[in-house]
Amino acid sequence: MSEALLLGLALMLVFEGIMPFTSPTAWKTTMRRLSEMTDWQIRLIGFCTLVGGMLLALLART
């Protein structure tokens, strides 16, 4: 279990680093636009991402 959790964290860090490494200008623009959103919009994006990740995890296990 801890091995899978560590692997998941490592993959998350790899995916998080792709955008700023390959296109820092687009990443900065995206972060600027994100900072201008309301809390509700950010929470909605976070919720959708969370549900999508959970669904993918369930699909991967079956």
Please provide the average confidence, as pLDDT, over all residues in the chain. Answer: 92
**Length of the chain measured in residues:** 62
Average pLDDT on 6-30 reads 93
Kindly indicate the confidence band of residue 1, based on its pLDDT and cuts at 50, 70 and 90. Answer: low
Residue 36 gets which letter from DSSP?
A: T
- Please tell me which residue, 62 or 37, carries the higher pLDDT value: 37
Q: Tabulate helix, strand, coil % of the chain (nearest 5).
A: 90, 0, 10
Give pLDDT, residue 32: 95
Burial 25-50 (b: 16+ CB within 10 A, else e): eeeeeeeeeeeeeeeeeeeeeeeeee
Give this prediction's pTM.
0.71
